[in-house]
Structure formats: C-alpha cells, structure tokens
Structure 1
C-alpha cells in the first residue's frame, strides 16, 4: 500500500511533524517577544500556532496510542488502560510545565515585593502560583493580572486544555466511530465560530472570560488531528517539495500581518488543517538544517520562554527607562533557544526518566504484593 503513513513508517517516524512543531514554537516565542517584551512583531498571528499545536497533538497521540488503547479483538484487553495513558502524559508534560510556572511565580513574587503598585496582592499572587504549579487556572480577577488563567506562565492555558482533551479522548473518543468523530469536529467548529464572533477575536482561552473559546479551540484542533489520523491511509505520498511548501505555508499563516477575524478564522479552520494534511502526506522528509533539533526543544521553548521574557523585559525597562526593545528583541532568540536546550537535556529528560522509573516501580508493587498473599 503506497500511502503517506507507510512512507513515514519506513523512515521511522513523522520527522516533518517534529520540524513543524519546532517552527510553530519559535513563532510563538517571536510573537511574545513582540507582545510581552516590547520587541518588533514578526509573527502578528503567532497565537494561531497554538491551534496548529492542538492539531499536531491529536494526530501524533492517535499515532502513538490509539492502537494500544483499543483492543484488536473483542475477546482481548487493550495493551494500555486509561490510567497508564494518563501517567505517561503526566510524565511527558509535568517537568517543563512545573518549571515554567515556578520561574514565572518567582518573578511575580519579586515584582510584588519591588513594585506592589504593579502587582496583585501578595496572597493572591501566592495562591495563583500554587494553582499554576498544579497546572490549574486562576479564576478570579487580579488588579495587575486581570482574568489571566496562568499569570505565572501564560502558555500553560493551552497545556491545561490539552490535558483535558487528551484524557477525554483516551477515556471516550478513542473507541468512537470516524463518523461520530467527524460530527464532533463539525460541532466544535461551529462553537469556535460562535465564540470568535462573541468575543471579536480568535485569541481566546488564556483568560477566564474566554474559557468557552479555549475549549472550542482545543476541541476543534485536537479533533482535526484525530480525524486526519483516521483518514491517513487515503493520503497520497508527497515529495520533499510538498514538505517545504507545508513549512512555508505555516510561516505564511503565522507571519502575514492580516488580523481581521474572518481571515484568522479561515487560517485556523481551513488553512492550517490543510497544512497539516500536506505535512502528514510529505511524511518523513526534512525541510531545513537544524529542524530536528528545533523540534526536540519545541516543548521546553514553549514552556519557559514567557517567564524568561518577563524577567528580561522587566530588567530592560529599568535599564532603558521604559524604551521598547524594538529590533533588539531578536537578540533574545539565541539565549532562549540555548535555555530550552539546557532545560531539555539537564532537567526535562532526566526528570521524565526518573518519573518513569518511579511510576513503573509503584505499578509493580501491588502485583508483587498480591502474588505474595496468594502464595
């Protein structure tokens, strides 16, 4: 069978999707340099990378876990249960998420002590930090943070919604028919349009006042990825030129300075799903030097760049007497990439390995105890 999936598996994995994830993470970083660190704005629609992340997540998780969560015969049990899946997702996401919330929380405490007039009250800061460390949102209005769900580390809002989507999929959607899944995606699309029209923007989900929009974004994006995985066998095999086209199209969608709501809805609901279709069909092709490395550090980069930007921009405001960084903000990219690499290799990967060993040990203990009692 000459399909894109077969081609990708012969290459060992969907390598192109890793590179696309890296491009999207770098776009989000540059977007926040423009919005949070007073730098030049190179990716005005960089927040749409989150919608692409949701789509990627749906496809990649289905590729990795769907067969293990569903029995291959009526009389057989699945290889992995829901609890096992939940443990794996916790191990994958927690170290970077907790580190990012911890860094951001320390910054918020320091800001509260140094500039209380620019901060929420200390008790609110501490409570919000505690919730954010548990990847739980702040649901009240703060004097400085407003309705922001994760003031300690803004991007955690998308991880919170993604965790909910992951667990709901493994518990329920993984066994549903493709037709039902397609209907769910269509309903989520309608909800997303309604939320965008109600709020006047698609940049939704990071505030308590737009929780409905965040839920609609993850349901539509994650559902698109799941649906594409179900239909992957029908895709043709595309060459490296198509892979390059997919990468350029992603950059185009995130960098084009057109922010009218109809345009951003078209990008999120039609253009980006098509980009993912081409990326999956192009399978195992690489598109740029260093793309694999950028894909590897994409999650740490996404998870820590906002707290680091907050620290740097706070220091820069004092040094520059409030002057914007402008084009000099681009100089922040190399240190952020280096920090992401160090977090990956020195913190994230060692922590994941240790957590995996600990969870495997605790999972074996009940079985060993039961065997001893039975004997």
Structure 2
C-alpha cells in the first residue's frame, strides 16, 4: 500500500497554533519548577496539564486525518506515518541529551560522573526506540524512563494510544466510543480526586504506579479527542484563536487550588479541565477561522515549532536546573535572566532542529517508507 496516495488533508491552523502556545507554557513550567519550594507554589502551577491537552489534540487530529481512510490505509501504513512524524525528534532529543549529559554538573545528579560511556550509549540507544529504560539503567537518579530527555515518557504513551487506535478502537461505533470515553473519564476523575498528590502528575517511571497514571492520563483525552472529531459540528466562532489561547494560558497558569489541606480540590480542578475545558477549547479552535495573513503565519510558526520545542527544550533545561541547584535559595527575580536565556535558546534550538533536521529527515523517510 503506497501511503502517499492518501495525500494530506488541510490542517486546522488554529489547533496548530494552540499546540504551540501550550508548548511554550510547558517550557516556562520547567523553568519555574526548580525555583518552587514544592509542587504547591510553582508560578506556572498547572503547566504539566499541557501533556493532557496534547493527548486530546492528538486524538482529535488523528480522528480527522485518518478515520475515513481505512478503506485505503493499512495498520502498517498508519504506523509508518506516525513513526515518520514522531520518531526523528525522539532520536534527536535523546542524542542531544546524551551529548549534554556529562556537562550538567550539579550535586542533584551525583551519579552523572560515575556513569561509564558504554552505559550512556546503551541508554541512548534504548531511548531511540522510545521504550522505557528500567530503573536499573537510571543514570541520572530521577527515576525516569528516559533519563536523557525527560519528556520522552509522554511520547511512549502517545505511541500506545496510536497503536490501540490502529489495532481496533478505531472500529468502535460512536455510541460504543462514547461509553468507553465516559468510563475512562470516570476513572480519571476518581484518580484525580483521590491521588495523595492532589493532582494528575506522573507517568514517567517504569513501575506499576506510574504506568497506571500514564495510561489514565492518556486514554481519556486521546479517545475523547477522537470522539470529538467524529461528533462535533464546528460553527463559526469569532476570534477563536485569541479566546482559546487565553483559556489554555488560564488553565495552565492557574495557582494551586486547595493548598496542602484540601488536595482533592486541586484534583477536581484538573479533572474538570481535562474532561470539560480542554474539549471545549479544541471545539472552539476547530470552529475558528484564520482572520488575517498575520494570524495564519503566527499559527503556522507556532504549530511547526511546537513538537521540536517540546522534544528538545529539556536538553537546555538540564543545564538551567543544574545552575539553579548550585545557587541554593535563588529567587525568580534573580534567576529570570538565566531563565529567559534558556527559553530563548530553546526557541532557537527548536527552530534549527525543525529546519535543518526534522523536515529533511521526514522528507527522506517519506521516500524510504513508501
């Protein structure tokens, strides 16, 4: 089956732009995180919910792009397309993470200078596959399944969702899919309000607890996005990109709710955002139209930059975190020049990665994987 015969559908430009807005806020979240005394007082407190938003966007876009093409598309063809889209930047992120590994000198990573090169290379090669690294191979000491590029865990679950979709869940009727999504939403709600942390964070460690969290965080938003792509009937909404961007920012920048004494309140807020607010944002974004050439260029730029930014920014954040940890007690007011420098570097690195690596590699893969 020649995948290229399927062609491509027009993009939802506003959704591309919103993906970029969320990716930028993720970077800010990771820059403010080491300055917080706990998970209760991070300035960008709910930045991690961007991952759940990405999953929902992914389910919506995949449903739109592929649901009506399975008469011409094979499972292998679908997975090749996803591999071509996702894997080049997975490889780049792991490679850059490996290169920078020994240079992030800090007391918070005492293991770094004891790790032999062969072990670093093995971890990098496993990382290329996006398969989790076992705890016995945790060379950084943060108990992450991808110690060379922290964000790799969400790509692992993205692949799981894609595979489940391709292998059978795409065949569910709208009614059956709705029942599945409602059940997944109930599980998510229960987890969010009963989790001892008072939030939905987790999924990045190869153990039973984090695998459970990762699956819960992936299944509802991804398949809710798929259902939304099938049943929504977008109507024209004026200034959709502005309103959706503000909503995304409001959700992700919202301070912690309930404090340390009412953890369930914050869990309820996060469940509400994932189950109600994020689908609403995607619906509004899909209903909007680009109103000017300037807005079109902004959305295109943000959309193109979003995935490279997400997959490469933490390589620079490692250096920033090491610097913060070596300056105990530093405040946001003191650290902001370094944070801004790291953010600017992340934007440049993402753009260079996009133009000089991701786009050429994907073009090459399209030819090779026909």
Give TM class, smaller chain.
0.7 to 0.9
Distance 1:179 1:146 in 2: 42
* Cα-Cα RMSD: 2.9
What is the CA deviation profile of residues 27-60 of structure 1, one whole-angstrom value per residue up to 9, with x for unaligned ones? 1111011125789955211110111101110111
1:136 equivalent in structure 2: 131
Tell me how far 1:283 sits from its aligned partner. 4.4
1:272 equivalent in structure 2: 278
Distance 1:167 1:205 in 2: 18
Distance 2:281 2:243 in 1: 9
1:299 equivalent in structure 2: 307
Q: Trace 1:171-320 onto structure 2 (pairs within 5 A).
A: 171-196=167-192, 197-200=194-197, 201-208=199-206, 209-233=209-233, 235-240=234-239, 242-259=240-257, 260-285=266-291, 290-314=298-322
Q: Is the 8 A contact 2:108 2:322 kept in 1?
A: no
Note closer, same or farther for the CA distance 1:335–1:113 as it changes in structure 2 (3 Å cut): closer
Q: Pick from 14, 20, 36: which aligns with 1:22?
A: 20
Q: Pick from 87, 91, 97: which aligns with 2:80?
A: 87
Q: Is the deviation greater in 187-196 or in 43-52?
A: 187-196
Q: Pick from 64, 67, 91: which aligns with 1:98?
A: 91
What is the CA deviation profile of residues 58-109 of structure 1, one whole-angstrom value per residue up to 9, with x for unaligned ones? 111111111112xxxxxxxx21101011111111111111111111123334
Distance 2:93 2:290 in 1: 31
**Is there any run of 5+ residues in structure 1 with no aligned partner, and where?**
1-8, 70-77, 361-375
Q: Is the 8 A contact 1:204 1:214 kept in 2?
A: yes
Q: Trace 1:59-74 onto structure 2 (pairs within 5 A).
A: 59-69=60-70
* TM-score for both structures, normalised by structure 1: 0.81
Tell me how far 1:309 sits from its aligned partner. 1.5
Tell me how far 1:145 sits from its aligned partner. 2.3
Note closer, same or farther for the CA distance 1:186–1:344 as it changes in structure 2 (3 Å cut): same
Q: Is the 8 A contact 1:243 1:285 kept in 2?
A: no
Distance 1:152 1:348 in 2: 19
Tell me how far 1:322 sits from its aligned partner. 7.9
Kindly indicate whether residue 359 of structure 2 is the aligned counterpart of residue 335 of structure 1: no
Q: Is the 8 A contact 2:35 2:330 kept in 1?
A: no
Distance 2:108 2:144 in 1: 19
Tell me how far 1:332 sits from its aligned partner. 2.4
Distance 1:105 1:81 in 2: 35
What is the CA deviation profile of residues 235-293 of structure 1, one whole-angstrom value per residue up to 9, with x for unaligned ones? 332222x4322221111001111342222222222222221121122244579573321
- Which structure 1 residue ranges, 4+ long, deviate > 6 Å from structure 2? 37-40, 112-116
Q: Is the 8 A contact 1:150 1:157 kept in 2?
A: yes
Local SS of the residue matching 2:44: coil
Note closer, same or farther for the CA distance 1:349–1:239 as it changes in structure 2 (3 Å cut): same
Aligned pair count reads 339
Note closer, same or farther for the CA distance 1:266–1:344 as it changes in structure 2 (3 Å cut): same
2:143 equivalent in structure 1: 147
Tell me how far 1:331 sits from its aligned partner. 3.3
What is the CA deviation profile of residues 125-147 of structure 1, one whole-angstrom value per residue up to 9, with x for unaligned ones? 55433322211112326485243
Kindly indicate whether residue 46 of structure 2 is the aligned counterpart of residue 45 of structure 1: yes
Distance 2:113 2:344 in 1: 32
**Is there any run of 5+ residues in structure 2 with no aligned partner, and where?**
1-8, 258-265
1:55 equivalent in structure 2: 56
2:4 equivalent in structure 1: none
Q: Is the deviation greater in 154-163 or in 207-216?
A: 207-216
